[in-house]
Amino acid sequence: MEQIIETSCGKVSGITKNGCREYLGIPYAKAPVSDLAFRHPEDPEPWDGILNADKGGRNSIQGYSSRHYISYTGQDCLYMNICVPEGQGEGLPVLVWIHGGSYATGGTGRINENTDEMVYDLTRFAKETGAILVDFNYRLNIYGFLNLNYLSDRFDLNCGLFDQIKALEFINKNISAFGGDPANVTLFGQSSGAACILALMSMPEATPLFAKSIVQSACVDSFWTPEQSEKITKMYLRMLGISSKTPEKILSADPVKVYRANRKIKIRVRAGGEVTCVFSPVLDGRTVKDYPVKTVFASDKPMLIGTCLHEANLFTDKFPTLLLPYAPRLFKLKTKWGKDLRKRLSDDLTYKVYKKPVMDIASSYKGNIWIYEYQYAKRCRHADEVPVLFGSKTEPNREARSPENKALEPDAEALGITLRKAWGEFARNGEPGWGMYKDSRETHIFK
């Protein structure tokens, strides 16, 4: 039986799938095109009649080639999906997923225009936990995070972060109509998505809109100072052949040239030994006041935070053998040349970028905090836990399903159930099932 939901913008109908009701491709903001491109998002236009929310919306334009299989993209991309487990009643906990992808790639919509297949399938997670699952697209790469604001106030800063806030506002206004509790919203995200959560925790526009956070493998320090971001922008505009005096020409830039410039600037930044994501949020003192690793201490929201055992394997496995001896100096590490250099380089990079920031946060965090480490499978790389967590095909699968990682092999099934149970318990009750770090100094191991 079709169930019609009345939202603040109009009525929506969804589909039934795997014991859940799904509402796919709901617009949570006006399309950020034309005069609204490179601007902070605005509330969506109300619609007449019933919105048939049976297919996912477009994903943000992708930054690099590594995830080009997400081909259903465009600037009109601000859509969300809401997955409600059937027969669970009212006042359900809400889990909101913020996808990763170096602020440049990824999404939550349809993979391509000719399929109903979504980047993430939320149904199993929702059904097992009895929680409402929500995910959404936000603007990526130049459309969400390039700092053009210092050249002209025609361009707003950190649009991708403000897309996330607009999505959370829509959830806050409407989730009760779907059976959710707006006072019990838990954000969870991985990599750049997790770093965004840390930033949101100290943004006054966002903090009233969620209660708890789950921070998976955050690139904690991947933020630019204004000076750094301005340097990136100047370099980028030169690659496009656009003068800094006429930045508005980027509004009509050839998409093929934009794509090529995205690839070029990534190579240029990495060659300089910079591990910060190329299109990172800007610490402007207004929208994002400082590095989240510094500002997050003011929050008292319950937090579950952790990493994978060998995060940096994802990156060091690809590093050319010929250049390996130069990598420690390039990435400002103290790794000494010698036997097993690639492994030791990965360990040192994992510690610097992922594990040490987690311990720094945990040691001084004001609120209740729990730590985990994901150790399943041999390589246990960055993003390997994501398909296991969702228990279905997900966007990071292409890396995670290699024979060494075994992310979707039968013995990962039980671990996925365990992960979803812990995440679900934390969303429902604020405790994942082991001791708080400040009391036990425990790092809970998933393996």
Residue 63, domain CATH: 3.40.50.1820
pLDDT in tens, 395-422: 555 554 455 556 657 778 899 999 999 9
Contact 272, 338 (CB under 8 A): no
pTM summary value = 0.95
In our burial notation (b when 16+ CB lie closer than 10 A, e otherwise), range 39-66 reads ebbeebeeeeeebebebbbbbbbbbbeb
356 found inside a domain: no
115 found inside a domain: yes
As a whole number of Å, the CA-based R_g of the chain is: 21
Neighbours of 8 (CB within 10 A): 12
pLDDT at 365 over 80: yes
Rounded mean pLDDT of 148-173? 98
Give the residue numbers spanning the domain of 379. Answer: 4-222+295-311+368-446
242 found inside a domain: no
Q: State the amino acid at position 293 in one-letter form.
A: V
Q: Is residue 268 very low, low, confident or very high in pLDDT (cuts 50, 70, 90)?
A: very high
240 found inside a domain: no
276 found inside a domain: no
Q: How far is CA 308 from the centre of its chain?
A: 16
Contact 438, 364 (CB under 8 A): no
Q: Is residue 66 very low, low, confident or very high in pLDDT (cuts 50, 70, 90)?
A: very low
Per the document, the length of the chain is 447
324 found inside a domain: no
pLDDT in tens, 297-329: 989 999 999 999 999 998 898 888 888 888 888
Measured between alpha carbons, how far is 124 from 417 in angstroms, rounded to an integer?
10
Q: How many domains does one find in the chain?
A: 1
Burial (CB < 10 A; 0-12, 13-18, 19+), residue 423, is buried
Rounded mean pLDDT of 17-21? 96
Rounded mean pLDDT of 73-99? 97
252 found inside a domain: no
11 found inside a domain: yes
Q: What percent of the chain has pLDDT over 90?
A: 82
Angle at 131 between CA 126 and CA 132, to 5 degrees: 80
pLDDT in tens, 225-249: 999 999 999 999 999 999 999 999 9
| pLDDT at site 392 | 77
Show the tokens assigned to 362. 């945990």
More confident residue, 379 or 375: 375
